[in-house]
A and B are shown apart, each in its own frame.
Chain A
Amino acid sequence: MYLYPVWVRLWHLFNAILILVLIVTGISMQYTDKQDAILMVGFARAVKWHNIAAVLLTVNYIFFVTGNLFTDNGKFYKIRKENFISDLWKQMKYYSLGMFKGEKHPFPVTPDRKFNPLQKLTYVLAMYIAFPLLIISGLGLLFPETVISRFLGISGMILTDILHITMGFFLSVFMIIHIYTCTLGARPTSLFKSMLSGYHVSEDH
């Protein structure tokens, strides 16, 4: 089943590469020390590449939102109220118990349903809440003179940075879970292959 159009795959590929660069450089800046530890890239280099990757990620994000608004792909991100909680519960039960008992996937992938309810919720939270907050706070840090100097007696820069690193952290955790859940396809590698070829192997869980 052809499920992932070229633009989605390209967006996803760039997003993945840029996020990885941003995580490594972000950690290098946050936990910088006089001697750079393993995987740390050095503060000056980290700042440079973090800024470059961040600007590219912002452009890529605008591409994603525009694509979702002007193509069919946006429908997969629309959450409907009816049975929302119970569907979510069903999916969580399947991941924690059902799949080990050999139960069938409660929400198999179809051309109209690319994401299961839990997937949909986390993707919406990540792409439409965490991402905009990450980008806006990141722009604030890139142009510190735009950030209000004090808010409720606390430095605006601290608040902006805490918001930025918190969102960065949540998106990093999201990425780890996302990569792991992508091994839950028909075979551990089939969903990764789908994201490269565009074709979804339907016998997944």
Chain B
Amino acid sequence: MTSTVIRYLYLLLLICLLSGISAFASEFKKPKAGTVDSITFKSPFYEDNERCFKCHGQKTYEYLNENLDRNVKALMFSERVIDRNKFYQSNHKSFSCTDCHSADYVKFPHPGELRMEQTYNCIDCHGGDEKFAQYNFEEIESEYQKSTHFQLEKEGFSCWECHGPHTYKLNIRNSSDIKEAIIYDNNICLKCHSNYDQFQLLSDKDEINILQKHDWLPNQETHFRSVRCIECHSEINDSILVSHLILPVEKAVRKCNECHSQNSILMSTLYKFQSKEQRKDGFLNGIILNQSYVIGANRNEYLNIISLLIFGVVVLIIGIHIYFRLTRK
């Protein structure tokens, strides 16, 4: 009787297991969206900047057409819309708009020749400045010029293609949550590499399907959430925190061991700046364990020693047993 009940319960469990597997297969969890910081910064140029944001801070703007003598409402060209919140969280949040743009923009309609305005690059302000020496902008500039981005499109490419001047903020250096920093950084690449309209501005190549290109990667979703694109697609440089030498696709890392090993490259890339959060507990590359887990890179030294000891004792006992079997026949 009891065994019959156990058999039925087992069959029931098996059915539940199979239906669970099929339900699971059809619905994978979606990655969590990143959270947005609260803005506490008060800009000394808030009032001045508001004159620009009045039109450029949203998708529509309104102006008085003096010829028609009436207010006209129009759509703002999307490239010219600046997100106020993102700007006041960005690295350049303390700037006045006219620090970088011509003061002539205060006139409306804006003078036509301003369209040809020369824009600054990072090195124009940050180069040769002691205050920014720790970031080594000169090396960043030189690496960037060797990168496939610059080599393929010397005219069209600039720092701003990846680091929007109105939105960019220091990320990996300041982040306490690596997962969010990864989403932020990968979105920089995806801005063009998952949006063909944007991509076409800089390249005549056919559309690249990122998911298909990475078909070979096991647990693709987990990889995309756990590492940045640049871990595999750039060359490591010890003198700067984030590598700017983006490699041609044929030079990208494809060997799993590069990350999944004792000498994981992740320690020189993604986890380079995390030494303040050192956590070892006997794990190799223990810092990774704060946020992630990498098979092959996170072995535990204590477990290694214990397992070798147990293995050694077993082999020894078997050896002694064989010896007695041979000698005490």
CB < 8 Å neighbour of B257 from A32, A141, A145, A158: A32
Q: Is the CB of B28 within 8 A of A145?
A: yes
Q: CB-CB < 8 A to B295: which residues of A?
A: 29-30, 32, 141, 161
Question: B258 contacts the other chain (Cβ, under 8 Å)?
Answer: yes
Query: How long is the Cα–Cα vector from A101 to B329 in the complex, in angstroms?
Result: 8
Contact with B along A157-174 (1 / 0, CB 8 A): 110011001100100010
Q: Is the CB of B296 within 8 A of A43?
A: yes
Query: How long is the Cα–Cα vector from A165 to B302 in the complex, in angstroms?
Result: 13
Ranked 6 nearest A-B pairs via Cβ: A43-B256, A157-B293, A32-B296, A100-B328, A33-B261, A145-B29
Q: CB-CB < 8 A to A143: which residues of B?
A: 24
Name which residue of chain B comes closest to A33, CB basis: B261
Binds A, one of B113-121, B239-247, B307-315: B307-315
Q: A43-B256, A158-B293, A165-B303 are in contact. Are A144 and B6 (CB under 8 A)?
A: no
Minimum CB–CB distance for B295 against chain A, Å? 6
Q: Is the CB of B257 within 8 A of A162?
A: no
25 A-B pairs, CB-CB below 8 angstroms? A29-B296, A30-B296, A31-B296, A31-B299, A32-B295, A33-B263, A34-B257, A34-B261, A43-B261, A44-B256, A51-B218, A69-B3, A100-B325, A101-B328, A141-B295, A145-B29, A145-B221, A155-B289, A161-B295, A162-B300, A162-B303, A173-B310, A176-B318, A177-B318, A180-B318
Query: How long is the Cα–Cα vector from A55 to B262 in the complex, in angstroms?
Result: 28
Query: How long is the Cα–Cα vector from A27 to B61 in the complex, in angstroms?
Result: 63
Q: CB-CB < 8 A to B328: which residues of A?
A: 100-101
Contact with B along A170-200 (1 / 0, CB 8 A): 0001001100100000000000000000000
Question: B169 contacts the other chain (Cβ, under 8 Å)?
Answer: no
Query: How long is the Cα–Cα vector from A157 to B14 in the complex, in angstroms?
Result: 26
Q: CB-CB < 8 A to A177: which residues of B?
A: 314, 318
* Chain B contacts to A: CB under 8 angstroms: 3, 6-7, 10, 14, 24, 28-29, 218-219, 221-222, 255-258, 260-263, 289, 292-293, 295-296, 298-300, 303, 307, 310-311, 314-315, 318, 321, 324-325, 328
Q: CB-CB < 8 A to B261: which residues of A?
A: 32-34, 43
Give residues 31-89 of A contacting B (CB, 8 Å). Answer: 31-34, 36, 42-44, 47-48, 51, 62, 65-66, 69-70
CB < 8 Å neighbour of A70 from B7, B221, B298, B307: B7
Question: A202 contacts the other chain (Cβ, under 8 Å)?
Answer: no
Query: How long is the Cα–Cα vector from A155 to B226 in the complex, in angstroms?
Result: 14
Minimum CB–CB distance for B221 against chain A, Å? 7
Q: CB-CB < 8 A to A176: which residues of B?
A: 314-315, 318
Minimum CB–CB distance for B78 against chain A, Å? 34
Minimum CB–CB distance for A187 against chain B, Å? 12
Q: Is the CB of B260 within 8 A of A32?
A: yes
Q: Is the CB of A33 within 8 A of B257?
A: yes
Query: How long is the Cα–Cα vector from A32 to B256 in the complex, in angstroms?
Result: 9
CB < 8 Å neighbour of B10 from A65, A155, A157, A161: A65
Q: CB-CB < 8 A to A36: which residues of B?
A: 257
Query: How long is the Cα–Cα vector from A173 to B324 in the complex, in angstroms?
Result: 21
Q: Is the CB of B260 within 8 A of A158?
A: no
Q: A29-B296, A70-B7, A157-B293 are in contact. Are A144 and B260 (CB under 8 A)?
A: no
Q: A30-B295, A155-B293 are in contact. Are A43 and B314 (CB under 8 A)?
A: no
Q: CB-CB < 8 A to A51: which residues of B?
A: 218
Question: A146 contacts the other chain (Cβ, under 8 Å)?
Answer: yes
Minimum CB–CB distance for A104 against chain B, Å? 16
Query: How long is the Cα–Cα vector from A31 to B303 in the complex, in angstroms?
Result: 13
Name which residue of chain B comes closest to A174, CB basis: B314
Q: Is the CB of B218 within 8 A of A47?
A: yes
Query: How long is the Cα–Cα vector from A42 to B221 in the complex, in angstroms?
Result: 22
- 13 new A-B contacts, CB < 8 A, other than A44-B255, A180-B318, are A42-B256, A43-B256, A43-B260, A47-B218, A48-B218, A66-B10, A144-B219, A145-B221, A146-B29, A158-B289, A169-B307, A173-B310, A173-B311
Query: How long is the Cα–Cα vector from A166 to B293 in the complex, in angstroms?
Result: 17
Q: Is the CB of A69 within 8 A of B303?
A: no
Name which residue of chain A comes closest to B317, CB basis: A177
Query: How long is the Cα–Cα vector from A101 to B324 in the complex, in angstroms?
Result: 10
Q: Is the CB of A146 within 8 A of B14?
A: no
Q: Is the CB of B293 within 8 A of A69?
A: no
Q: CB-CB < 8 A to A145: which residues of B?
A: 28-29, 221-222
Q: CB-CB < 8 A to B7: which residues of A?
A: 69-70
Name which residue of chain B comes closest to A166, CB basis: B303
Q: Is the CB of A30 within 8 A of B289?
A: no
Name which residue of chain B comes closest to A142, CB basis: B219
